[in-house]
Amino acid sequence: MKKKTFLIVVLIIIFVIGIFFLIKYFNKPKTPKQNIDGDTKVLVVYFSAQNHTEKVAKEIASNLNADIFEVIPVNPYTEDDLSYTNVSSRVYKEHNDESLRNIELVSTKVDNWEDYDIVLIGYPIWWGIAAWPINNFVKENDFTNKTVIPFCTSASSGIGESGNLLEKLTNTGTWVQGKRFSSNASSNEIKKWTKSIK
Ligand SMILES: Cc1cc2nc3c(=O)[nH]c(=O)nc-3n(C[C@H](O)[C@H](O)[C@H](O)COP(=O)(O)O)c2cc1C
């Protein structure tokens, strides 16, 4: 009898946890549809230190027939720089001291910037936020009259507050719910998402 009660309790707990995850999954905020047609000008901007975000950015651009712009630091990150478990690495120091995160970029100026209706901004997640080399691109551009869609790649973290934090750097544009991809997201997954926002 005791055993039976225990089993019932365990089953109820599993059921409740299952319902919790189902609700969480189905309530996940989604990037709204953009009604992209032949007249909509779309730009994909990205920073990528280890090429994962670059691959995703290129596929998104190809699926949406968009132009693409890479954000490149004047002083690019080497593998040693990116060794985030090493306290003396560049990223570790930058993470610890916000004043070191003002990363000079090769360019922040996109040709015919004013023509774009939608700008997608891609970056890797570093310590739960957008990799900071993207910050100066966001700060130095005016997103007025543009819809901005953040996207990121990460090992496991969600997109979290990263898009909202970038929005605060500019306070222009209409920023919508972004999308997180795993570092090695499949072409199918990327296609499915681009189709969903088109
Ligand atoms: C400095 C640093 C910090 C990272 N922090 C996180 C993190 O907080 N959460 C996570 O899921 N992945 C983290 N990662 C993994 C990257 O987000 C992931 O590998 C990403 O796809 C790399 O993109 P990239 O190849 O375009 O640079 C981190 C990687 C680096 C180099």
188 and 92 share a domain? yes
The type of residue at 37 is: D
19 and 56 share a domain? no
The predicted pLDDT at position 28 comes to: 76
Atom of ligand 1 at shortest distance to CA of 48? 26
The predicted pLDDT at position 43 comes to: 98
49 lines ligand 1 (CB under 6 A): yes
162 lines ligand 1 (CB under 6 A): no
127 lines ligand 1 (CB under 6 A): yes
Q: Report the DSSP pairing between strands 147-154 and 179-182.
A: parallel
Using alpha carbons, select from 102, 103, 42, 48 the residue that is nearest to residue 70: 48
Q: What range does the domain containing 3 cover?
A: 1-30
23 and 37 share a domain? no
Measured between alpha carbons, how far is residue 150 from residues 9, 22, 32, 96 in Å? 43, 25, 12, 24
Q: Total structural domains in the chain?
A: 2
3 and 97 share a domain? no
157 and 186 share a domain? yes
Nearest Cα residue to atom 28 of ligand 1 = 126
Q: How many residues does the chain have?
A: 198
24 and 73 share a domain? no
Question: 77 alpha carbon to ligand 1 midpoint, in Å?
Answer: 13
The predicted pLDDT at position 55 comes to: 98
21 and 36 share a domain? no
57 and 107 share a domain? yes
DSSP, collapsed to helix, strand or coil, labels residue 30 as coil
182 and 134 share a domain? yes
Q: DSSP labels for 98-159? A: GGGG---BS--PPTTGGG-SEEEEEEEEETTEE-GGGHHHHHTS--TT-EEEEEEEESS---
CA–CA separation, 178 and 166 (whole Å): 12
Question: 11 alpha carbon to ligand 1 midpoint, in Å?
Answer: 37
48 and 87 share a domain? yes
Question: 182 alpha carbon to ligand 1 midpoint, in Å?
Answer: 10
Q: Can you give the pLDDT of all 198 residues of the chain as single tens digits?
A: 678 888 888 899 998 888 877 776 677 789 999 999 999 999 999 999 999 999 999 999 999 999 999 999 999 999 999 999 999 999 999 999 999 999 999 999 999 999 999 999 999 999 999 999 999 999 999 999 999 999 999 999 999 999 999 999 998 999 999 999 999 999 999 999 999 999
91 lines ligand 1 (CB under 6 A): yes
13 and 81 share a domain? no
73 and 88 share a domain? yes
Residue 173 is given by DSSP the state S
